[in-house]
Structures are given as C-alpha cells and as structure tokens.
C-alpha cells in the first residue's frame, strides 16, 4: 500500500508536531550549582586549620567545568562501580568549559553554573569534567596563609584534567526530583579538605593522609600542584568515580 | 581509579521478632496481660568507610517509595555504624542514606512483593522505564495512529 505524498506528509507532520507538544508539557527547570562549602567562603580557620596548622583565607577559587550532564538512571548508578552511566534520560548542562569562582557565591553559598529545561523525573546521577580553561588551569586558588606569625600570599594552580561520574546528591535534602512545570537543582561540591587536610580530624584519617597540606606551599607566590590521587570533586557529600583525562 | 576513604553502605534484609504486649479485651482480671510474638521483616543498615572503620553515630535517613523526596525515617547509627529498621508495606525502591563527618553514601533495596519479600543490592530493581521493545511498540503505535488518521481523511475525500 502506498500513501499519496500529501497524506504521507500529513502523517509525518502529525508525528513531529505531537512529540514536541508532549515534551514541553512534561518539562521543568534544572539548575546546576557549584560550591566549595564553608572552607571556600570562610577559609580554613580554627579549629578547621589545614592538617599542618595553617589558616587559609581565599580571595578566589576558580574552577573550570566542562561536559556536565544530569542523568536519570534506573537502576540507580553506583559510583563505586566506575562503570559508564547507563541513563534513560541525559540532559547536557554544560557543553563547553565554564569557569566559576567558588568564593564569589550567592546567599546560599553557591554559584550558579547553568540552567536548562529538562524532562521531568528524578535526576539521580551527574557526570562532569574538571579540565583546564582558557587560562590553562583547571583550578586556581589565591589568598593568604598564616601560621605562628608568618603570613604568605599564595596563588596555587593545577592543570590536572579529571572526569567524574557520580550517583545522586547526598546532603541535608534529597535533590534532583523535577516535576512538570517545577524546578530542582543539582550541586557539584569541591571538598577542599581533601586538598589541604584538616587539623581537627585525626592525623591518621585517610583524607589527611592523602591531602597535600600547606607546608609545601609555605614559600608563597605562584606555585603549581597536581590533583592526581586526590578526590576533591563530589556531589554534596556523595563520592564520585574519578579518572584522569 | 581513586577510592579514598569512601563510605559504604550495606543493607541486610532480616527477619526479626517483635514483642507485642496487649491488654486482654476479655473479662477484667487483675494484672492480666498477653504477649504475642510476631516475625517481621527488617533491614539492617551497616555504614562504614572503605577502610572498614564504622561510621559511628552516622545520620541515617530512609526514603520510602511512597514519597522518595521526603525522609520516611531519620535516626542515628550506633557506634558500629549499625541501625535496624522495619519498612512498611510500600512496594518499590527504599533508599537509605548515611552521612558522617562530611562523607555520605546511598544504598537501595527493593520491596518487590506485598508479602514483604526484600532483596538488597543495586541490581534487584526492575527497570521502571519502557524497555527497547516497549519503546519500539510505542513508536509504532504513534506512527500507525497517524497513518490511520491520514487514511481516514483520504477516505472522506474520495
């Protein structure tokens, strides 16, 4: 059976018109935030000094994010598996490098990275890259360090590129539920204590064992470091699978 | 792959015994009481770091499939990072979140049948979305519906 061309066109036009209408009716607004918690905005101040006893206050903490995608997965993604995220719905939020300052935040202590219209559902997985931006740096931290009468100004930068695959946000509230016409948010959270350690945590804590501390940067000025082997990127308190790019 | 100090959650379906003390509804007897023993299906939460250290006193939050966005239970794990709870009759995915000292993890289990059958683990959940065959059938139905509409108008015009 062959349909006349005009009727065939009508049939396909019906398909094309019907699908966007259904999609628009089932969408909401998804906003991506980034933050470095209080350690970014207030610094490492007593009792939360660095593992080696430095007080740090930051003027800026620039990070560059890329390829950020929110996912709906069933079953839930297990970040410990390290497997690729097998999602039923994936919404690209950042498709080219975006640099944000984790010190210059809004009233909630976060910085808005991106906003997108997205299908309703539970966004229970997130993937993102930390990679060098236009200035060649993945992360730049500048500020002032003090310990026992010594004060040094520092600018620390890294060009380590990392891919993160994360499960659902872990925090005070469960995030990621998007209803039609509603809004929700997801967070990328950088744990700076994985970088500098914490004096108020046991010295043999694994985080302290792996953290760089600040002694190695105590000469001040501009210095470089590597994120290799560190686990700074999270989703709230939830861990991510991390691999080098 | 780096796996520093990650919290892990283990959910263990349990059969526990509940003690139920009931006042007798019959004739009034001094000090009369009854004790019933019932078995219930419970879940043991074991929260620990990947070093094996327990998440002592971890904050445990349980989400029911009836309302997965709001906590069904908030409680504190013991010194060994353990907590036992008895889920209600709602069928579907139960999610358990454990948080301690800035670290957190989530684990899930499915209540698959109304008789209380529990299965712990990641892969026990049946996919809620349509599988590829279902998607194909849905697409075919939409297309066939449009063709049928076109044929209907064609017939009216002839």
Whether residue A206 and residue B146 make contact (CB cut-off 8 A), yes or no, is no
What confidence tens digit (pLDDT) does each residue in A152-196 have? Answer: 999 999 999 999 999 999 999 999 999 999 999 999 999 999 999
A13 pLDDT band, cuts 50/70/90, is: very low
Same domain, B41 and B65: yes
Asked if residue A69 is part of any domain, the answer here is: yes
Asked if residue A186 is part of any domain, the answer here is: yes
Give me the residue from A11, A78, A206 closest to B51, CB to CB.
A206
Residue A10 reports pLDDT greater than 50: no
Same domain, B59 and B135: no
Q: What is the pLDDT of residue A38?
A: 96
Across B46-75, average pLDDT: 94
Same domain, B94 and B144: no
Same domain, B87 and B157: no
| Total domain count, chain A | 1
Q: Are B45 and B22 in contact (CB under 8 A)?
A: no
Q: What is the pLDDT of residue B127?
A: 32
Q: What is the pLDDT of residue B13?
A: 72
Residue B133 reports pLDDT greater than 60: no
Least confident piece of the model among A32-46, B26-40, B108-122: B108-122
Same domain, B157 and B84: no
Across B150-158, average pLDDT: 51
- The 3-state DSSP class for residue A20 equals helix
Asked if residue A9 is part of any domain, the answer here is: no
Same domain, B38 and B115: yes
Q: Which of A139, A38, A126 is nearest to A85 (CA)?
A: A126
| Total domain count, chain B | 2
Q: What is the pLDDT of residue B28?
A: 60
Same domain, B116 and B156: no
Q: What is the pLDDT of residue B138?
A: 37
Same domain, B105 and B77: yes
Give me the residue from B5, B127, B150 closest to A7, CB to CB.
B150
The domain of A195 spans 28-244
Same domain, B88 and B105: yes
Among all residues of chain B, which has the CA nearest to that of A78? B122
Same domain, B101 and B147: no
Residue B130 reports pLDDT greater than 50: no
Asked if residue A151 is part of any domain, the answer here is: yes
What confidence tens digit (pLDDT) does each residue in A47-85 have? Answer: 999 999 999 999 999 999 999 999 999 999 999 888 999
What confidence tens digit (pLDDT) does each residue in B65-120 have? Answer: 999 999 999 999 999 999 999 998 888 999 999 999 888 999 999 887 766 666 65
Question: What percentage of residues in chain A have a pLDDT greater than 70?
Answer: 90
Structure tokens of B30? 């001094």
Asked if residue A203 is part of any domain, the answer here is: yes
Contacts of A3 in chain B (CB under 8 A): 147, 150-151, 154
The domain of B140 spans 127-158
Whether residue B99 and residue A10 make contact (CB cut-off 8 A), yes or no, is no
CATH for B29: 2.60.40.10
Asked if residue B2 is part of any domain, the answer here is: no
Same domain, B118 and B136: no
Same domain, B37 and B70: yes
Q: What is the pLDDT of residue B26?
A: 54
Q: What is the pLDDT of residue B140?
A: 41
Across A229-237, average pLDDT: 95
- Looking at the complex, report in whole angstroms how far the Cα of residue B15 sits from the nearest Cα belonging to chain A: 25
Asked if residue B55 is part of any domain, the answer here is: yes
Asked if residue A20 is part of any domain, the answer here is: no
Which segments of B32-155 are extended strands (E)? Answer: 34-49, 59-63, 73-76, 82-85, 92-100, 103-111, 118-120
């Amino acid at each position: 059976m062959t349909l006349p061309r005009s009727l065939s066109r009508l049939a396909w036009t019906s398909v094309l018109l019907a699908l966007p209408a259904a999609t628009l009716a089932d969408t909401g607004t998804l906003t991506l935030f980034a933050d470095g918690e209080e350690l970014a905005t207030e610094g490492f101040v007593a009792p939360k000094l660095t593992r080696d006893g430095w007080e740090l206050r930051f003027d800026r903490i620039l990070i560059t994010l890329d390829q950020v995608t929110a996912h709906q997965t069933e079953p839930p993604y297990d970040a410990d598996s390290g497997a690729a995220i097998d999602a039923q719905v994936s919404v690209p939020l950042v498709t080219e490098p975006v640099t944000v300052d984790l010190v210059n935040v809004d009233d909630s202590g976060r910085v808005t990275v991106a906003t997108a219209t997205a299908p309703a559902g539970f966004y229970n997985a997130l993937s993102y890259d930390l990679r060098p931006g236009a200035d060649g740096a993945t992360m730049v931290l500048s500020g002032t360090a003090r310990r026992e009468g010594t004060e040094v100004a520092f600018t620390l930068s890294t060009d380590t590129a990392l891919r993160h695959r994360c499960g659902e946000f872990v925090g005070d509230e469960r995030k990621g539920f998007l209803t039609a016409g509603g809004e929700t948010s997801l967070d990328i959270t950088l744990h700076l204590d994985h970088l500098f350690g914490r004096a108020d945590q046991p010295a043999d804590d694994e985080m302290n064992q792996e953290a760089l501390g600040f002694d190695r940067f105590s000469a001040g000025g501009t210095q470089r470091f590597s994120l290799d082997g560190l686990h700074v990127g999270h989703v709230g308190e939830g861990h991510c699978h991390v691999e080098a790019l | 792959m780096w796996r520093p100090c990650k919290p892990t959650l283990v959910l263990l379906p349990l059969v526990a015994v509940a003690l139920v003390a009931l006042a007798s509804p019959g004739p009034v007897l001094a000090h009369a009481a009854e004790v019933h023993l019932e078995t219930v299906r419970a879940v043991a939460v074991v929260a620990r770091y990947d070093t094996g250290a327990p998440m002592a006193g971890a904050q445990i939050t349980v989400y029911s499939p009836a309302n997965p966005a709001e906590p069904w239970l908030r409680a504190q794990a013991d010194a060994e990072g353990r907590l036992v709870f008895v889920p209600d009759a709602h069928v579907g995915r139960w999610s358990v979140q454990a948080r301690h000292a800035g670290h957190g993890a989530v684990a899930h289990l499915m209540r698959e049948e109304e008789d209380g059958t529990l299965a712990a683990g990641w892969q026990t959940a049946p996919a809620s979305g349509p599988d590829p065959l279902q998607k194909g059938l849905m697409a075919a139905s939409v297309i066939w519906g449009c063709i049928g509409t076109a044929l209907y108008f064609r017939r009216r015009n002839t």
